[in-house]
Structure 1
Amino acid sequence: MPQGEKQVLTTTLHRYSRYTKYLLTIMLYFGEIFVIILFAFTSYASLQKGALRVQFQSPAVPLLHSNATVREFYEGDIAVPFFTVLQSDVSLVLYYAPWDFDSQLAIQDFEKIANKYKGQVFCTSINCWVHSGLCKKTFLKLRSFPLILGYVGASRGIQYRGPLQYDYLDKFVQSLLTPLIRIETVADLNKLLIQSAVVVTGFFNFDLAKPKGFYPFYTASLRYLEYDSRKTVVFAVITNPSAAQRLGIRLSMPRQFDLRLHLWNETLIYPYNDNAIDTSQLLQWIHYRSHSPMQFISPSGRKNQVIQRYLIEQQRPSLILFTPSSILSYQTMVVKEVALNYYNCVSSPRITRLIQESEIQRDAMEFSRLAFERQCGISEKRKCLSNNISINAHQPSKDDISVEEKCEFSYEPILPKLEGLGCRTNRTLNFFVIDSHQYPNLLINLGYSSKRINQNSYVVFVVDPMAESHYAMTLPLTRQNLQNFVINYTEKRLRRFHRSRQKKQKTKKSCYAGRVCIEEISADDFTTIVLDPLYDALVLYKKKGCVFCEIGARFFLKISQMFSSPSSSILKKTNVRQIKFATIDAEENILPWQYTVDKFPTIIFYPAHRKHDSRIYPHNLELNEANLLNFTLSHLSLKNRIIWFTRFCQDTACLQEAQRQIDAQIIIIERNIRRSRNHLLWPENSDRKSVAKIQNYVKERHFFKELGYSVRKAVVDIPGGHKPDEYRDGIVLLA
């Protein structure tokens, strides 16, 4: 290396080292200054003698009036109420937060329960939100309100998990008072099987002072209420030895008890070991072994997956009865009879006997209702409070026969075709019951309006998640109509449920001159507007909460504006029809299968005179004005395509391309005219249809020649080869 270059390199390295040391020194000083400032602020804060400002909770106030039957401890005390709970036979405790809306509603029904069971059940409410109260300090894991617990004596609390309504809460209290039902005869067992889904029976040696296994069985009946607020599983005790023998129950010396699970199609015996019953194992055994042809669905009202688990994940169609009653009603028994017969695959005498027993009880209910209406003088058109009639009504007497004949009250026999149908088809139904008053949104989402719910609360739907469709039963709910409905669904005779929701019509003032308005149609308007054979239609499918639908609607509106005003001189001379633009909410409106979509947003073009040849805007193509405009033009008829093509041309080159297409079309028409004329030279081909065809060709040729003349004139009129820029977004048409 030359000496000069070496000296320059040494000087450069020396300067670089000096700058580096300078920067490191500055960074060191800044770090020390930052530490000093931080220490100063910390010292200043520590020397402050003022206490932290804390906003105290406002003093608690009672939710109920002073004369209420419910003893309210609004300051959060739990010592006094629990002392009373331990001394009471049955108690009901409501833990609430005063700001919680559900708590405010629940405490009203809670007071009605306290008034009804005054002297039988001790009812108290505790404010578990006061920070200074013992309830807040004791129950730290209480995350939701309200919480209702039932206590029987000194046993642990039984949580109520059902709907916060009076009817359901009343049934829960009745179950606390009488968790076990007495069975004297076999007929009593059959009645319980109709009224409930599962019956758990226990037969014990009551000759002993403390029957072995009875207390765990009693405890299990109480604990099961936490998972079965509707009391679909009934615990019963057989007290008549002769009835036990008829059921095949015999106690031997080493065996001191007998537990059985009675289902609709079988009876299971509980496996016992060492003459002892484990309550947890018994509850698990009941839970996993229980099944019923008809189930009650009771969502908690909070975020859960109950509907998903029962209706969607099973991948099977479901028949759902929406009923306003929380008790077993006439309509519920009709559905259960159909379900029993639907699953009676081997013509079981046991199932046949249950159906007959259900008919007897249902007849008794209906005769009682008719007798009640006759006594009250209520006409058949008015509603009667028949839901309060007990299911154990008296049997019809001879005097009631005239009522039956007068009201034409009769039952048609079940068709043999329905028996065992669930085992002969791949479209097997599940049967469910849902409270329509407790969960009206489910009905509304299925397309049943709230007005129709008030008129008729007993509604039957078949929901098929695999086919993404549902079907409604329009006839009155009778056994004959229901079984025909099931058979028609199995044989694919039902039509998909039609749902149409029309938006409020906009006034003419809102769509004034110079403003582009797109009509939002419903399923009822789809046929008359979109499927009109004389017009081309472009439809935007959207749904609520779709962000991309809002973005696509802007481009859709812009294209609608471009096609709305044919003001050019070329279009004034043509008789071109306007394109119909419309949007539809595909979630709120159920269309026939051939017009549904699976993605949102989706744009479909329905051409005139060939609606079956509709085209979908490609989802893999970017949605913008130019692409949507070219998509629309490319699917128009040839005549309309050329007309609108000349409308959107912005320069001479575009008009020359339009002229080329017009000339090509004229050549094709003249070729068709010559071919048709040659065809007429033969005598056997000289008919009126051929002559009319030539006349139409001549009219089209004249039209395209006039259009070509207008295009050539427009080219000459463009100053500098460009038209005024009507669309400043720079739309480029592909020829």
Structure 2
Amino acid sequence: MHMLRKYREKAKNLPSSIYHNADKNENSKISNKTDTDSEDEANADLIFEDSVNEYILKMVNFIKELAIFCFIFAAYAAITHDPPKVSKSPAAYPFFPTNSVIKDFYRGQILEAIEQARSSDFSFLMFYAPWDAESQAAKAEFLKTANYLKENVAFAAVNCWQPGSTCRNQYNKVFRWPVLIAYPAFGNGIQYNGPIESSHMISFLQKLMKPVKKASEIILDFEEAFIIAELNTLPGSEEYSVYYSTALKYLENDPLGRISFFVKPVKKTKNQLSFYLWHEVKILDLNQSDWKVDVIMQWILKNIYTTSSWTLPSGSKSLVLSNFLQPGPSLILFTPMNPFYGFSDYYMMLQEISQEYANCNNYAPNFDMKSKRLDNYLTYKHLKKICKSQIYGEKQKDVLSVTTNLVFFNETYNDRKKKNNLNLYEDIKSENCYDIFPQTFKNFRMIEASSSISRKEIKTSMLRDEFDPKSMPNLKKNQYNNKCKNLLEAEKLFKPIFEPVNLESVELSVAKLGCSNQTLEFVALNSLIYYNFAERLGLDLFSKKDRSGVVIVHQKLESHYVMKNAVTSTNIRRFIRNFTNNTLIRSTDTISDITSVTTRSYHFNKTIQRSKPIYVKELTSKNFLDVVLNEGKSVLVMYYSKQCSYCNGISYIFLTLARKLSFVKNLQFRRIDGDINILPWEYTMDAFPTILFFPMFKKEETRVFPSDIPIDLTNLLGFVLSNFDSVTKLNAMYSICLHYQLEKEKRSCFTSVRSYTVALIEQMLKQWRKSNNRHRQIVLHNLRQLKQLQFLFTHKPEDLKLIQLYFNKLKFGLTNDYSSKSKESIKTEL
């Protein structure tokens, strides 16, 4: 407006000959119309005024455009130059209790954590994310491990998720938490890849602290195989350092430590390793330049061969178990694995049987499994006796103060109060076993004898033995204290189980049965952790005292076989022989048949009182055949799966139809989870949902709902009616009419029912004319019932009780084919 006012003032200052008042021009034009000079002057004034207004309008538009451009430019500059507004990351907070033995670097200070780890002989670090569920679950187990080994291992935890921290910047591509790494004082870290359970982590760290043992004359202290190296073990030996690092590196690949590493000290190194497998010994000769950790590790992993093995599924999607189950059959032994003991008698039983099964070339075994099992039993008995003696009574109190109350299952905890009678060689006395294991009992007797010898005190400037923690007596005592500590903790987890001795049983042989094309893989699973796998196969381990069971799974044939007898050597061998001879019966037991506390979601409680009727009931593999093969009922079954999202919508349609046909008493609606229930092959479906109709009498004429037709209420009702006989169809039509809400629709429906009844009577009259005398009596009986129904449909269609009475008298189909059951029933009524 200011600019417009400025231009108007400039126009007024023009000469008078050019600018004239509008009123004068108007009067001049009216008075002197004939004066041509005045007209020219007036036109000139108008043209000049129009040009000035046009100029002013252009200037105003230009200023507006300039202002809009400046505004857009300023907004763009503000958007592009201002820093993005991002919410701040949450403040870091301690993940572990501040008074615990674990040093928690909750701000992600990874450099400080590793520096502190290297300052200890052994340290165990947990890299976690505080929001991660698995990290939260591992928190308690890691804390138990730290409390147990706090005197020997330094424990620390690092928050590797905290934004901006050094750990987050360095390990920003980790896809799973937690990550557990053990750091020795020198060398690379060893990642722990076993179960996140305190017992397994404790066993892993104890093996990590003593990865190499000294070889003796009789080696029985091993898991599945062992390696002996003849090396120079003097301080500074490079060969021993490489061998020691190899033993540590192997625990990263196998946290269970199935291979034991032994060393024989020699003055001159041969750079030779002897790998003792169950059937052969493999030798590795290396030059000095090839004596490296990677070379030895590759050789070990390439040549290891065992007839059986423990399997440790990760708990998430993996192919660990699938690799054992495909493509042929596999025998799975579910048994408790207690890492504190270092042995499992049932698993060693499986090793013994599998080695006999796979010995096709009559190999002479390198070690006797029976002797090893007996040695473990006697060692356990002797150690248990020592731990209760007065020799270690004072230290036992200290052991009890640092142990944790580790309870995995309530059943396991309750069984600690019960006496375990599953002991092998219960009648064998220790004094009679010296001839069997002279080396073992020689050591035991030396220990017992040393405890009875009185020691003389000698004056010296050095520390006395009882005050020197590194003295030989204290080291031995500490060694047995640690063994007693492990024994006490092992008793809390699960007591050892040994094969019961049955002197009357006949020893069977499975030798060379594995030499055929269809050979078994032998796998063992820890039943304390992986009991859910057994429940999926219908094996309830919690109902057994030893928590053990045997199953053969044939993935290719989609079959499995459960051993019903107790787990013994004789029963397992008989089970294998029957499988080889194809005499086993395919098991149909599944998780739905187990009623343990761990499978409540699959157990259907029949004692619950319900006020509303149940239109669709659940079937299992136990009652499936009894229900669908009942000749007195027509059954409509829907196969579904909890993993099928489309089945949820179909379930509503199925339930709606069941409610509408609830008046049809000889029709049942059932459903079954085809994913967890194992059925005979002829009743097994490979797609969900699938709907089958089982007719009343002719079960062999079972129909499947067509897969090319959409499953909706109209199509499903048409499918059911098309498979009904005439009388059942009349019953179904009447049941549908009862569920109409509008009176007009209900009357129309009853009209259709009456018309169909008349047509049905006409059809039966034709049959009566063509039938013999015996058949005419049956038809005449049905005609009487239809006559009464027609009368009720016309006058009392709402009288459900009376109509149901006459429908119940029509118990058979109106065809020429009558079952013997229907004939006998009609004779009784006539």
Same-fold status (TM-score > 0.5): yes
| Partners of 1:172 and 1:339 in 2: CA distance | 26
Deviates most, 583-592 or 157-166: 583-592
The Cα shift of 1:338 comes to 1.7
RMSD of aligned Cα (Å): 4.4
Note if 1:41 corresponds to 2:54.
no
Tell me if the contact between 1:511 and 1:517 (Cα under 8 Å) persists in the aligned partners: no
Q: CA deviation at 1:230?
A: 0.6
TM-superposed CA distance for 1:205, in Å, is 5.2
Q: 5 Å matches for 1:468-507?
A: 468-490=558-580, 491-499=582-590, 500=593, 501-505=602-606
Q: Equivalent of 2:641, from 543, 567, 578?
A: 543
Q: How does 1:372-411 map to 2 (within 5 A)?
A: 383=418, 396-398=430-432, 409-410=501-502
- Change over 3 Å in CA distance of 1:173–1:707 after alignment to 2: same
- Would the aligned equivalents of 2:228 and 2:275 in 1 still touch at CA under 8 Å? yes
Q: 5 Å matches for 1:567-646?
A: 577-637=665-725, 639-641=727-729, 644=732
Give 1:537's aligned amino acid: V
Q: How far apart are residue 637 of structure 1 and its match?
A: 4.2
Q: Secondary structure at the match of 2:180?
A: strand
Q: Map 1:552-571 onto structure 2 (within 5 A).
A: 552-565=650-663
- Secondary structure of 1:523's aligned partner: coil
Cα drift, residue 534 of structure 1: 1.4
Alpha-carbon distance in structure 2 between the residues aligned to 1:463 and 1:212: 48
CA distance in 2, matches of 1:598, 1:408: 43
Moved more, 285-294 or 490-499: 490-499
Partner letter of residue 582 of structure 1? R
Q: Distance in 2 between the 1:365 and 1:532 partners?
A: 60
Does the C-alpha gap of structure 1 residues 354 and 519 become closer, same or farther in structure 2, counting only changes over 3 Å?
A: same
Write out per-residue CA displacement over residues 605-661 of structure 1, whole angstroms, 9 at most, x where no aligned residue.
222233344222222333233332333233334654566578879598997777666
Residue 532 of structure 1: CA displacement? 2.3
Contact 2:127–2:158 (CA<8 Å) still a contact in 1? yes
The answer to whether 1:178 aligns with 2:210 is yes
SS class of match (1:597): coil
Matches within 5 A, 1:418-429: 418-424=510-516, 426=518, 428-429=519-520
Please report how far the alpha carbon of residue 486 of structure 1 lies from its aligned counterpart in structure 2 after TM superposition: 2.2
User: Are the counterparts in 1 of residues 663 and 731 from structure 2 also a CA contact under 8 Å?
Assistant: no
2:229 maps to 1:229: no
Alpha carbons of structure 1 residues 123 and 563: separation in structure 2 relative to 1, 3 Å? closer
Aligned: 1:460 with 2:474: no
For 1:438, which of 519, 529, 549 is the aligned residue?
529
Cα drift, residue 446 of structure 1: 3.0
Q: Pick from 249, 254, 258: which aligns with 2:272?
A: 258
Q: Deviations over 1:656-706 (max 9, x none)?
A: 777666545544554341xxxxxxxxxxxxxxxxxxxx4344222452476
| Aligned mates of 1:642, 1:480 — CA distance in 2 | 62
Residues 9-57 of structure 1 deviation map (CA, whole Å, 9 limit, x = unaligned)? xxxxxxxxxxxxxxxxxxxxxx999987753422454797x99565253
Conserved? CA contact 2:94–2:104, under 8 Å: no
Kindly tell me the number of residue pairs found equivalent between the two proteins. Answer: 620
Distance 1:653 1:131, change over 3 A: closer
Note if 1:94 corresponds to 2:126: yes
Q: Quick one: distance in 2 between partners of 1:301 and 1:159?
A: 18
> How far is 1:294 from its partner?
1.0
CA separation of 1:276 and 1:324: change in aligned 2, threshold 3 A: closer
Aligned CA distance change for structure 1 residues 107 and 600 (closer, same or farther; 3 Å): closer
Change (3 A) 1:604 1:134: closer
Q: Distance in 2 between matches of 1:374 and 1:239?
A: 36
Contact 1:367–1:400 (CA under 8 A) maintained in structure 2: no
Whether 2:612 is the aligned partner of 1:511: answer: yes
- In the other structure, the counterpart of 1:19 is none
Aligned to 2:230: 203
List per-residue Cα deviations over 1:362-398 (Å, max 9, x = no partner): 65368669989999xxx999645899x999xx98433
**Secondary structure class of the residue paired with 2:632:** coil
Helix, strand or coil at the partner of 2:522: strand
For residue 221 of structure 1, report the CA deviation from its aligned partner: 1.2
SS of alignment partner, residue 329 of structure 2? coil
Matched, 1:63 2:63: no
Partner of 1:295: 309
How far is 1:222 from its partner?
Answer: 1.0
* Rounded Cα–Cα distance in structure 2 between residues aligned with 1:413 and 1:425: 30
The alpha-carbon deviation at position 496 of structure 1 amounts to 0.3
Q: Distance in 1 between matches of 2:789 and 2:528?
A: 68
Q: 1:383-437, CA deviations, whole angstroms, 9 ceiling, x for partnerless residues?
A: 45899x999xx98433999xxxxx98445777454222122362x2211112222
Aligned to 1:703: 782
Q: CA deviation at 1:579?
A: 0.8
Kindly provide the CA deviation profile for residues 331-383 of structure 1, in whole angstroms up to 9, marking residues without a partner as x: 212222221222122332227x53443453365368669989999xxx99964
Q: 1:286 aligned to 290, 295, 300, which one?
A: 300
CA contact (8 A) 2:228 2:262 kept: yes
Query: More deviation in 364-373 or 283-292?
Result: 364-373
TM-score (norm 2): 0.65
Q: Compared with structure 1, are the counterparts of its residues 151 and 386 closer, same or farther at alpha carbon in structure 2 (3 Å cutoff)? A: farther
2:472 corresponding residue in structure 1: none
Identity %: 23
Instruction: Say which is worse superposed, 583-592 or 707-716, in terms of deviation.
Output: 707-716
Structure 1 unpaired stretches of 5+: 1-30, 242-250, 402-406, 567-576, 674-693, 719-735
Query: Are residues 1:344 and 2:359 paired?
Result: yes
Aligned match of 1:14: none
Q: CA deviation at 1:278?
A: 3.2
Deviation (angstroms), 1:550: 2.1
8 Å CA contact retained: 2:640, 2:673: yes
Contact 2:639 2:673 in 1 (8 A): yes
Distance 1:200 1:71 in 2: 37
State which drifts further: 430-439 or 318-327: 318-327
In structure 2, the residue corresponding to 1:560 is in which secondary structure?
helix
Helix, strand or coil at the partner of 2:194:
coil
Q: Please say if residues 539 and 603 of structure 1, whose CA atoms lie closer than 8 Å, have aligned partners that are also in contact.
A: yes
Q: Which has the larger radius of gyration?
A: 2
What's the CA shift string for 1:494-532, capped at 9, x where partnerless? 3404233443459665416xxx72222333443443332
* Alpha-carbon distance, 1:235 to partner: 2.1
- Return the offset for 1:60: 3.2
- Structure 2 residue aligned with 1:572: none
Pair 1:294–1:669, CA change in 2 (3 A): farther
* Partner Cα separation in structure 2 for residue 408 and residue 452 of structure 1: 18
SS of the aligned residue for 1:700 comes to helix
Aligned counterparts of 2:178 and 2:415: Cα–Cα separation in 1: 42
| Secondary structure in structure 2 of the residue aligned to 1:349 | coil
